[in-house]
Chain A
Amino acid sequence: MLWNTILLALREIKRNVMRSILTILGIVIGVGAVITMVTIGGGATVQVRQQIASMGSNLLMVSPGKRLGPGQSSGNIPFKQADAEAIEREVSSVAAVAPVSSKSIQAVFGNQNWSTQVTGSDNKYFTVTNRSIRSGRQFGGSELRAGAAVCIVGETVRKKLFGGQDPLGEKIRLQKLSCEVIGLLEGKGQSTMGMDQDDIVVIPLSTYQRRISGNQDVAIIQVSVRDGAPTDKAQRDIQLLMRERRHLSPSDDDNFNVMDMKEIAKMLTGTTQLLTALLSAVAAVSLLVGGIGIMNIMLVSVTERTREIGIRLAIGALEREVLMQFLVEAVVLSSFGGLIGIVLALTTSIWLAGVLRVPFVFNASIVIIAFLFSAAVGVIFGYFPALKAARLDPIEALRHE
C-alpha cells in the first residue's frame, strides 16, 4: 500500500513538473545553504586548527604600545635589538627570541615586480615561526653582523618573480637595495588571519635597519616558549623584564604588549565556529520558508483535486488513506528537494573551498540531518493540507467543479 502510494505521488509530481520544481526550490536552496555553510565553516575551523599546530611551539609576541582598548596611545617607545637579547638572556623558559621589523615593499626581478612583505630578522625567526628552508641556506653569522645584501624568499614571491626559474643566486631589488637570493622557504599557506605567509622576503635585521628603515628600531619581538614550560609564566617574566628595562614605575601602565598567539588563534576558532552556526541558522530559516512553499502548493493541489478526493472517498478510501496519499506526496516532494539540495551543496562546497582556499571537509552527519530535516518539513507542512483533503465531505467534494 505504501509503495502504491509513493508511485501515485510520483505520478502526480510528474504531471506538474514545472510546479513541482518551483515548489521544492525553497527546500533545495535551504538544504543547499545549510550544508554549504556547515561544510565551509567546518573547513575553515580545520584550517585554523592546522595553522595553530603549524604556528610553532607557544609563540608570544611582544609589541610596543599599550594594550588595545579604550585609551589614548601615548608615544610608542620602540624596541631595540638589545631588548630581544635581554629576553633571551634573562627569561629562563624561552626557547628562541627573534627581533622582527617588516614593511611592504615592491620587489623587482628583471621585468617582474611584486609587492611583498620584507622582514628584517635573524635565523631565530625561522625557529620561532616554525619555518624551514627548502633549498639554499640560512644567513651566515658575518652576513647578520655586517648587514649583507642577501635574502631568503617565500614560495609566493618565487612564483611571482621567477616563475619556473631557480631563484638561488639571482639578485632582486628592494627599493634601492639589490640583494642576492640565498634561500627559499618551505611553503606554509594562509595564516589564521587569512594572510599569505609565503608572500615574504627575509633579510638580516641589520640590513633592514640600515638600508630600509634607516633606524635601529625593532617593530616586534617574537618569542617561542620552551616545550612544557607554562606560557603565562613566560608572559609574566617578559612583562616584568620589559617594565624594568623601560623604567616604568609601579603606577605606570605597560607601554608594551605581550600577546599569546595561541590564545588569539583559539579565539579565532571560536569566532569561526560561531559565524558558521549563525550563517547556518539563517540558512535553516530558508528551509522553513521552503516548507511554507510546499504547504501552499499542497493546499492548492487539494483544492484542485477536490473532485478526485471526493471520488476516492466515495469509492472506499479511508480518511487515513487519503491523508497518507497527500502526506506521502509532500514528503516525496520535499525529500526530492533535499536530495537535489545535497548534490548542489556538495558541488558548491567543493568549488567554494577551492576559491576560499580552505580544505573541503565532508560532513556526513550534516548531510543526513539536512535530508531528514527536509523530509520532516514535508511531514509537518504537508500534514495540514493532507488533513484538509482527508476531512472533505465526499458529497461536497463530488459536486466541486
Chain B
Amino acid sequence: MNMIAFSQMDNQHLIELQGVTKVYGTGQAAMHALRGIDLHIEEGDFVAVMGPSGSGKSTCMNILGCLDTPTAGTYKFKGIEVGKLTRNQRTRLRRFYLGFVFQGYNLLNRTSALENVELPLIYRGVPSGVRRVRAVQSLDMVGLKGWESHTPGELSGGQQQRVAIARAIVTEPAVLFADEPTGNLDMARSREIMDLLTGLNRDRGITIVMVTHEPDMAAYAKSIVRFLDGLVESDRRNGGQHNAMEHDSTGLA
C-alpha cells in the first residue's frame, strides 16, 4: 500500500498532505471533519476516494481542490504550501492547474454547452477564437460533437456530465477532481463516463482524483483511498483495472 509512496518520500509529490485536520466551529460545538490525514498522490495517478458520508472525503476533496484550507497540517501542491496562499492566489492555482467535475454537473443553466466549456478559458484570458476551437475540440473528445449549441436543459444526464467533464479538461489541467461523476447515471452511462476518465488518464496523462460511492466505479482507478471518521482508513493500489469484480471492501490487501 504505502510502499510506492514510501520509496518516493524524498522526491516531490504532485499532492502531499501531512497531518491535515479540519475543524468546523469551536469549543463544544467543534466538528472534526478531518483528524490528521497523510496522503500522497503522484502525477499520472487515478485515485478513487471512497468512504461513507460524513467520513471527511468531501472536506478532503475541497482542500485538495484548493477551495478550502486545512485547520492544521500542510498541503503541498507541486511543492507549494496551499494553506499559506491568499484566496486569490488559490483561485489562480485552480484556474491554471485544476479541473473540476462537480457533483450534480453544475453547469450554467440556459447557457449552451459550448459556452459552458468556454467558461474556464475566459478566466484564463484565452482569446475568443482560440477559446471556441478548444471548446469544440473538448466537446468532441467527450463525444458531444454536434451538441455545442444545446443548453443543459436540452441534454440528458449523461450528456450533461460529459459537458461538465469537457469543461474540466478544456484547460488541460494537471489534476482533475471529480465528485461522484457517475452519481445520477445508470450503469451503461456510468461505464461510458468511466471509460472516458480512464482514457483521459491513460492517453493525456491527467491525474484524476475521483470521489465515488460505488465499488464498481472505484475499480477503474489505479488506487483507492478509503476514509472513515476523518481518517484515511486505507490507501492501496488497485490490483486489476476495468474489473468491477476485483473490489475488496475488507481494506488492506
Binding site for B on A (CB under 8 A): 1, 4, 15, 307-308, 310-321, 394-395, 398
Contacts and interface: CB of A to CB of B under 8 A. Distances in A.
A395 B119 contact: no
A313 B67 CA distance: 9
Interface residues of B, number: 25
Given A316-B91, A318-B123, 11 more contacts: A311-B106, A311-B108, A314-B94, A314-B100, A315-B95, A315-B119, A315-B120, A316-B92, A318-B91, A319-B91, A320-B88
A319 B88 contact: yes
A232 B159 CA distance: 92
B102 A318 contact: no
A313 B122 contact: no
Contacts of A321: 123
B88 A318 contact: yes
Main secondary structure of the interface of A (DSSP, over half): helix
A1 B122 CA distance: 8
A316 B110 contact: no
Given A1-B125, A321-B123, A316 B102 contact: no
Contact of B123 (A15, A317, A394): A317
A315 B88 contact: no
Contact of A311 (B62, B102, B122): B102
A395 B67 contact: yes
Contacts of A318: 88, 91-92, 123
Contacts, number: 52
Given A314-B102, A316-B120, A321-B123, A308 B95 contact: no
Centre residue among A311, A312, A318 by max chain B CB count within 10 A: A311
A72 B47 CA distance: 104
A391 to B, nearest CB: 9
Which 5 residue pairs across A and B have the least CB separation, nearest first?
Answer: A316-B95, A316-B123, A315-B120, A316-B94, A317-B123
B124 interface: yes
Nearest to B68: A395
B84 interface: no
Contacts of B78: none
Contacts of A320: 88
Nearest to B108: A308
B150 interface: no
A398 B91 contact: no
A398 B102 contact: yes
Contacts of B102: 311, 314, 398
Main secondary structure of the interface of B (DSSP, over half): helix
B34 to A, nearest CB: 14
A317 B108 contact: no
B5 to A, nearest CB: 28
Contacts of A308: 108-109
B202 interface: no
Contacts of B145: none
Nearest to A3: B128
A15 B91 contact: no
Contact of B94 (A315, A319, A395): A315
A3 to B, nearest CB: 10
Contacts of B95: 315-316
B31 to A, nearest CB: 15
A315 B122 CA distance: 10
A394 B92 contact: no
Interface string B101-112: 010001111100
Contacts of B167: 315
B65 to A, nearest CB: 8
A241 to B, nearest CB: 87
Nearest to A4: B122
A321 B88 CA distance: 11
A83 B100 CA distance: 101
A314 B92 CA distance: 10
B130 to A, nearest CB: 14
B125 A395 contact: no
Interface in B130-185: 167
Contacts of B62: 395
B119 A307 contact: no
A318 B124 CA distance: 11
Contacts of B120: 315-316
Contacts of A15: 110
A244 B247 CA distance: 126
Interface string B57-73: 00000100101100000
A312 B102 CA distance: 12
Contacts of A395: 62, 67-68
A37 B87 CA distance: 49
Nearest to A313: B91
Contacts of B108: 308, 311
A315 B67 contact: no
B91 A312 contact: no
10 contacts: A311-B107, A314-B65, A315-B95, A315-B167, A316-B91, A316-B94, A316-B96, A318-B88, A319-B91, A395-B68
